[in-house]
């Protein structure tokens, strides 16, 4: 059976029992799971659904001997289709202020996400989960830029000086970054087709 690449979400990772706010101390990585009871209590339905679906997929994969890899993606930023633009009402963004304060508000470009799926499918040594994001929103200017993307409106007045602080990033994707570097450099061979060294498309 060929490998299965399961697309999950960063929201299945970041909502621990202590939440994702400014008091967060641990760094979220591939070993982290969102707490189901916490998600239910605070009605984080996107996180709850993504966590349950990924855990179910892993259980089925292990039970049936399926070679599965999970890509836990950040908030997808892509060129919107008419009437389908990203808005603040997107279910991923429930609890966004806490994500930002906790240093775990992450976004991903559609091109990077696609490349990550290709690398995860074709690289022979991949295993487990991979956090996939292009940017962790930790600076005030990044937060303002994202807010304007979600709700285009005239710029608000500058925030007070005590709000102009950089939030420590508490999410890391070193595992995927290593995979992408190795894959792009041609370390791996495309499986089963004799095409030789591999490369990602230039973007």
Residues found in the chain: 203
- pLDDT in the model for residue 196: 36
Cα pseudo-dihedral 1, 185, 116, 71, rounded to 10: 70
- pLDDT in the model for residue 158: 53
Whether residue 5 contacts residue 67, with contact meaning beta carbons closer than 8 Å, is answered with: no
pLDDT tens per residue across span 29-78: 999 999 999 999 999 999 999 999 999 999 999 999 999 999 999 999 87
- pLDDT in the model for residue 88: 81
Catalytic residue among 50, 55, 145, 178: 50
Is 55 among the residues known to form the active site? Answer: no
- pLDDT in the model for residue 191: 44
Helix axes 110-122, 174-184, angle to 10 degrees: 70
The whole model's pTM is what? Answer: 0.82
- pLDDT in the model for residue 23: 55
Residues of the chain with pLDDT under 50: 82-83, 189-203
Distance between CA atoms of residues 139 and 149, nearest Å: 16
- pLDDT in the model for residue 21: 58
- CATH class (in words) of the domain with range 4-152+159-184: alpha beta
Whether residue 119 contacts residue 74, with contact meaning beta carbons closer than 8 Å, is answered with: no
**Among the listed residues 142, 123, 146, 98, the one whose alpha carbon sits nearest the alpha carbon of residue 199:** 123
């Amino acid at each position: 059976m060929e490998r299965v690449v399961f697309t999950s979400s960063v929201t299945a990772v970041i909502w621990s029992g202590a939440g994702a706010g400014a008091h967060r101390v641990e760094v979220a990585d591939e070993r982290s799971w969102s707490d189901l009871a916490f998600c239910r209590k605070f009605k984080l339905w996107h996180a709850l659904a993504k966590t349950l679906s990924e855990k179910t997929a892993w259980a089925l994969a292990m039970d049936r001997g399926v070679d599965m890899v999970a890509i836990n993606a950040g908030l997808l930023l892509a060129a919107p289709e008419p009437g389908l633009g990203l808005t603040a009402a997107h279910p991923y963004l429930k609890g966004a202020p806490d994500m930002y304060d906790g240093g775990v508000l992450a976004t991903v470009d559609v091109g990077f996400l696609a490349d990550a799926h290709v690398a995860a499918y074709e690289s022979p040594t991949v295993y487990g989960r991979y956090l996939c994001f292009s940017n962790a929103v930790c600076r005030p200017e990044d937060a303002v830029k994202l807010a304007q993307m979600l709700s285009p409106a005239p710029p608000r007045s500058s925030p007070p000086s005590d709000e102009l602080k950089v939030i420590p990033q508490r999410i890391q994707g070193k595992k995927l970054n290593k995979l992408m570097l190795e894959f792009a450099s041609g370390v791996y061979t495309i499986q089963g087709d004799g095409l030789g060294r591999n490369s990602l498309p230039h973007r």
